[in-house]
Amino acid sequence: MYRTKAYAAAGKTAPMACTSIPRRDPTARDVQIEILFCGVCHSDLHYARDEWHEVFPAVYPCVPGHEIVGRVTKVGDGVTKHKVGDLVGVGCLVDSDRTCPNCKAGLEQFCPGQVLTYGSPDKHGTGPATYGGYSASIVVDEHFVLRIPPNLDPAGAAPLLCAGITTYSPMRHWGVTRGKKVGIVGLGGLGHMGVKFAHAFGAHTVVFTTSPGKTEDARRLGADEVVVSRNADEMRKHAGSFDFILDCVAAPHDVNAYIHLLARDGNLTMVGVPDQPLPVNVFGLILQRRSVSGSPIGGLAETQEMLDFCGRHDITADVEVIPIQRVNEAYERMTRSDVKYRFSIDMASLKAEEPA
């Protein structure tokens, strides 16, 4: 066991601050990684402030971060997938039971025994719960370590490990491809990745936003059309025409307005998580055999597929790179949607810190 620097919250009202945490020494199948960049996900804020207590209670001290890019510094004797010096990534999962039907199907994200990168029971006993990527290094089983294409900027690649796969996976599942008409609701951290993927898949891509000022940026990201969702006439023009709509909005909103835009057998997938239930008009589903679904991240194989796709198409997240010392400010700005479109922490900034 060794100790490494990290930023942690000591309680739900405490700011993130420098500390020292334990990490296990690599076992035969483990990879030790020096973390170069870690994306900041809204889930990090929710967890650190214990805002999801009913479904995902925080364990303190908590070290968030599940959008990790780094260099391999050590590998166990049994590791075959990675070598020292490789550029690699770690996403939302660091383990699963490996034996359930979901794992055998390559769908580790649905495993009942999944181990999240932070906040899950740590079977190795190095802490009260797993510690995430706001740290100088991490040790992870090789199966949960992914290859990062070398042509991708590592700062922009970090959010692909969550925001990227969260938007890529449902598009693959519902068959988004050339000739399809795809809607992206909300142009934020998730939505901007959805636009990039839909465009790269060759779909006719339409962004729905409440902000007319986002039109130019939506087109820059790859949108063919931009619809201001508060404009009833603009919405009416698209009635019954979408094959797939990805809803990235985490605030309460009228999903029936978007269900009405689906064609026969069209699907609306929710990846945003509003903090209260959303009413659904069932007739809007029945009359055209439409469906509404939800989707989390993807499995390990699909996440690697997504990263390779990004490498071929030169896709990364649009990021604002910050030092770790500004992470509390970043949290406050996220609550105001004041970022285009993700924060990425330069973990080299942690070297200057001294644990409290």
Task: Give CA–CA dist 164/166, Å, rounded.
Answer: 5
Spell out a b/e string for 298-323, using b for 16 or more CB atoms within 10 Å of the CB, else e. Answer: bbbebbbbbbebbbeeebbbbbbebe
Segment 287-296 shows an average pLDDT of: 97
Q: Provide the pLDDT for residue 292.
A: 98
In this prediction, residues 289-296 reach a mean pLDDT of 98
Would you kindly state where each structural domain of the chain is located, as residue ranges? 2-162+317-352, 164-294
pLDDT digit string (tens) for 80-133? 999 999 999 999 999 999 999 999 999 999 999 999 999 999 999 898 999 999
242-247 vs 262-270, strand pairing mode: parallel
pLDDT in tens, 300-339: 999 999 999 999 999 999 999 999 999 999 999 999 999 9
pLDDT of the residue at 127: 87
Q: Are 73 and 137 in contact (CB under 8 A)?
A: yes
> pLDDT at position 45, please?
95
Confidence at residue 5, expressed as pLDDT on a 0 to 100 scale:
97
User: Is beta strand 291-294 parallel, antiparallel or unpaired with respect to 262-270?
Assistant: parallel
How far is Cα 163 from Cα 178, in angstroms, rounded to an integer? 22
CA distance 344 to 341: 10
Confidence of residue 287 (pLDDT cuts 50, 70, 90): very high
The residue type at 325: Q
What span, in angstroms and rounded, lies between the C-alpha atoms of 49 and 332?
12
DSSP state letter for 349: G
Q: Is the pLDDT of residue 275 over 90?
A: no
- Sorted by sequence, the CB contacts under 8 Å of residue 23 that are 6+ apart come out as 1, 2, 3, 4, 32, 126, 131, 135, 137, 138, 139
Residue with tokens 């985490």: 250
pLDDT band at 200 (very low <50, low <70, confident <90, very high): very high
> Which of 28, 102, 39, 87 minimizes the C-alpha distance to 65?
39
**pLDDT score of 225:** 98
Backbone angles phi, psi at 283, to 5 degrees: -60, -35
> What is the C-alpha to C-alpha distance for residues 195 and 206, in angstroms, rounded to an integer?
8
Q: First and final CA of the chain: distance in angstroms?
A: 20
Per-residue pLDDT, averaged over 255-262, amounts to 98
pLDDT at residue 356 greater than cutoff 80: no
Residue 353: what pLDDT?
Answer: 83
pLDDT at 299 over 90: yes
Return d(Cα 38, Cα 189) in angstroms, integer: 15
Predicted confidence at residue 213, as pLDDT, reads: 92
Angle CA(38)–CA(302)–CA(135) in degrees, nearest 5? 15
pLDDT 10s digits, 127-162: 899 999 999 999 999 999 999 999 999 999 999 999
Give the integer Cα–Cα distance in Å for 202 and 186. 20
Per-residue model confidence (pLDDT) at position 352: 87
Residue that is written with structure tokens 């970090």 in the block:
158
* 227 pLDDT more than 80: yes
pLDDT of 122 reads 93
Joined tokens for residue 98:
């490996």
* Parallel/antiparallel/unpaired status of strands 204-209 and 225-228: parallel
- The second-level CATH assignment, the architecture, of 2-162+317-352 is Alpha-Beta Complex (3.90)
54 pLDDT more than 90: no
Question: What are the beta bridge partners of residue 71?
Answer: 34, 87
The amino acid sitting at 245 is I
Instruction: Find, among 98, 24, 42, the residue nearest to 250 by Cα.
Output: 42
Tokens found for residue 355: 């644990």
pLDDT of 332 reads 97
Is it the case that residue 19 has pLDDT exceeding 80? yes
Q: Give residue 354's pLDDT band: very low, low, confident or very high (50, 70, 90).
A: confident
- CA distance to 74, 81, 168, 209, per residue, from 78 (Å): 12, 10, 31, 49
User: What is the dotted CATH code of the domain comprising 164-294?
Assistant: 3.40.50.720
How much is the pTM?
Answer: 0.96
Q: For residue 354, count other CB atoms closer than 10 A to its CB.
A: 7
Give SS3 for 90: strand
